[in-house]
Amino acid sequence: MDALALEAKGKDDASAAPAATTKRPKQPKKAKRIVYFELEILHAKTKEKLLLLDKVEPTATILDIKSMFHKSNPQWYPARQSLCLDPKGRSLKDEDILQTLPVGTTATFYFRDLGAQLSWGTVFLAECVGPLIIYLMFYFRLPFIYASRYDFTTPKNWVVHLACICHCFHYGKRILETMFVHRFSSGTMPLRNIFKNCSYYWFFAAWMAYYINHPLYTPPTYGEQQVKTAVMIFLFCQLGSFSIHIALRNLKQPGSKVKKIPYPSKNPFTWIFWVVSCPNYTYECGTWVGFAVMTQCLPVAAFTIVGFIQMTVWARCKHRSYLKEFRDYPTLRSSILPFIL
């Protein structure tokens, strides 16, 4: 009996063993606790408390915070706002994420009013449409521009017609590029800047147009050969400028903030990227050098020199920005002139 009882007990233990080793179902993981931020927005000058934001998600961007601020203060839309961590500090970027900033869960932001804003597209159009219209006013010699003694007395030289075609082509191209090609990284600029920008372009357009279309205008010293050479330079640089703008457009997807290094493509006009960081400015300067040689006009030369100085400043800033952002940026490149500047 004892032997039978032991055998039966062994069988019972063997059958019970699998039940003891069965895995228990996994408990669901507890959701991570979100740590919300509390933000206080003060006026940078007066230190007046403008808004207190409670329970702001850590993944919120500066643009999200600007939108929240705009709901409470409709007069300050996001493009008009500048938020910074110090009253005299640099403005934070719209894409900056709250939890990556050097602040605690209770933070203070300082607000600055940037003033009324305009889109860059609007500014570019104003800069280009003005010179186009102004130049044509001088070309058609409207009665109030030149003295009445010149009316219908002196026919226009053929260079004058060619210069008008080239001038209109350049600004017409810029208008179309603004509408269909350019993608602006900065959405807006202060309204007050449009008066400074437009006065520069409009004044020089009037100055050069007055002399080129004047009834006493004299053609270039070396005649037809000088003009043909200049037109070739002008057209070459216009094609180069368009090619670079297309290359820069293709570098970014619509709405993307990711920056990339521009490189030459199969298009020969983009090969200048091997030695220059901002070839769009290089081609723009070349365009006006060609126009100055074509017309042999002092105001055009002055506009070319001033424009070159300004574009050199922009190109050097852009070049330094490339070097700072990309460790593998090509060291052979110069800012605007190959191996020189």
Does residue 103 sit in the same domain as residue 133?
Answer: no
Does residue 258 sit in the same domain as residue 322?
Answer: yes
* Any domain includes 207: yes
What's the total number of domains in the chain?
A: 3
Does residue 230 sit in the same domain as residue 248?
Answer: yes
* Any domain includes 109: yes
From the centroid of its chain, how far is CA 135?
Answer: 28
pLDDT computed for residue 6 by the predictor: 45
Whether the predicted pLDDT of 300 surpasses 60: yes
- In this structure, what CATH number is given to the domain that contains residue 50? 3.10.20.90
pLDDT band at 3 (very low <50, low <70, confident <90, very high): very low
* Any domain includes 20: no
Does residue 44 sit in the same domain as residue 101?
Answer: yes
> Helix axis angle, 158-180 relative to 191-212, nearest 10°?
160
Flag whether the pTM goes above 0.85. no
Does residue 133 sit in the same domain as residue 185?
Answer: yes
Range with the poorest average pLDDT among 186-200, 209-223, 315-329: 186-200
265-273 long-range Cβ contacts below 8 angstroms, 24+ apart = 267/243, 269/239, 269/240, 269/243, 269/244, 270/243, 270/244, 272/240, 272/244, 272/338, 273/247, 273/333
Domain end point (choices 62, 80, 114) = 114
* Any domain includes 18: no
* Any domain includes 1: no
Q: Give the mean model confidence (pLDDT) for residues 146-154.
A: 69
**Hey, which residues does 134 pair with through a beta bridge?**
none
Q: Give the mean model confidence (pLDDT) for residues 286-309.
A: 97
Does residue 247 sit in the same domain as residue 317?
Answer: yes
pLDDT computed for residue 141 by the predictor: 84
* Any domain includes 304: yes
Range with the poorest average pLDDT among 58-67, 145-154, 207-216, 328-337: 145-154
* Any domain includes 10: no
* Any domain includes 48: yes
The amino acid sitting at 228 is K
Domain end point (choices 114, 144, 176) = 114
pLDDT digit string (tens) for 80-96?
999 999 988 899 988 88
pLDDT band at 119 (very low <50, low <70, confident <90, very high): confident
Question: By CB neighbour count within 10 A (0-12 exposed, 13-18 middle, 19+ buried), where does 17 fall?
Answer: exposed
Does residue 137 sit in the same domain as residue 55?
Answer: no
Does residue 156 sit in the same domain as residue 170?
Answer: yes
Does residue 139 sit in the same domain as residue 237?
Answer: no
pLDDT digit string (tens) for 128-138?
999 999 999 99
pLDDT digit string (tens) for 22-33?
566 666 665 567
Domain end point (choices 197, 215, 233) = 215
pLDDT computed for residue 255 by the predictor: 65
C-alpha–C-alpha distance, residues 125 and 179, integer Å: 8
Q: What domain range is 264 assigned to?
A: 220-341
Does residue 48 sit in the same domain as residue 124?
Answer: no
Range with the poorest average pLDDT among 1-5, 159-163, 274-278: 1-5
